[in-house]
Structure 1
Amino acid sequence: MLRTSDVQIGYGESTVVWDVDIEVETDQIVAVLGRNGVGKTTLLRGIMGLNDLQGGHVFLDGENVSTLRPFEMAAKGVGYVPQSRDIFGAISVENNIRLGSASSDEFLLKSDVPPFIYEYFPALEEKSGAKGGTLSGGQKQQLAIARALNADPSHLLLDEPSEGIQPSIVHEIGEQLKRIRDNRGISVLIVEQNLNLAMAVADYCYVLETGRVVEQGTPEEIESSGAVDEYLAV
């Protein structure tokens, strides 16, 4: 289980996330929802060790991992897909995926892409020899997820996976995330503005407003609570 306890995260002396408690159980998809600028990305960066915590703690399967760096979090089974995707445009799709398996100790890559990755993302297999920079936005997002999966994580953090992607591909990514949860036993924490995607895939949701959790519950509870109109409507 991935859990935060009273975390405060920010930049310099400025605090963006205040006293946030969230839990991601095993085999669960949890969505953090909120308008742009409410602290969703900062929360994810703090969990991953990209931003130092100003207060509180992060726990992974009961272990306090609050001070670990990103490479240490990755070594403990936490995969991270940033909003920017960070695809290497000059190398092949296959080699982009293989980079996800790079050993921090030996700097080696696994020779082959595991078959299950191409089962989830058949379009990437068709494009395996193409340069990463030639892919569409939706394919680049799928590639970023595939690269993270190649590290065999137990937890997967995704930052705005629907951004800039056509609706049909967003739906496809949502279905892939549910298959990953169900078939691989991977817990997923997703931060999103796209309510349709979040409500379709999440088992549980947290709503952020000005860096604080203002509502939480199942998708059905969030929709019936009025939080959508109050905190999420554009």
Structure 2
Amino acid sequence: MALAGLMLAATSGAYAADLPRKAPMVQPVAPIQMYNWTGFYAGVNLGGGWTNTSSGSINSDLSGVIGGGQIGYNWQTGPILLGIEGDFQGSSQRSSGSATIGGLTYNGESKIPWFATVRGRLGYVTGPWLIYATGGAAWINYQLDITAPGGSVSDHTTKSGWTVGGGVEWMFMPNWSAKLEYLYLDTDTTTATLFGANFDARAKQNIVRAGLNYHF
């Protein structure tokens, strides 16, 4: 009996050793999200602008709300991004002032109804973030009106110039990004002459704006 019991125990142990064992559960690895900035994009922006100008002895620093749209193309190679962007902005920037010259009181009003830029972009990509510098050509519709008793003069022309700046952009969804940007714009001089008094103005504009882009 004892021998039979030992043989039965040995047989049971060997059978148990042959039973399949359940493999340990492996936790799935979350996929790494890839951010691809290459391609066309378009969007809208809103911000503010302030411009330091002078018209003869009339101080005419402008400030107001700006808003518009942009369209561009990015090309990414590794962490480096090259791109081109164009934008068109409407502007409420305006100011007025007065000065007395040679016994006459002159009143001046300055406005910037719109401006546009075409810029290159050079940036560094780290995950969903893009840090970039930008610069290129600018066109500003600067309007200067001078009045005095018995006459008035105006210069309403679009001036060409240049712009430089930088910003940061965040791709918060696969096709959507938000940006914060600063631009400095400088243009040619605007000149108006009334009753022998010369009024020269040159718009040196600062722009801060936030934008939203859709990437195609």
Which of the pair is proportionally richer in helix?
1
TM-score, normalising length: structure 1:
0.18
Specify the structure having the higher radius of gyration (Cα): 2
TM-score, normalising length: structure 2:
0.19
**Which one scores higher on RCO, CA 8 angstroms, separation ≥ 6?**
1
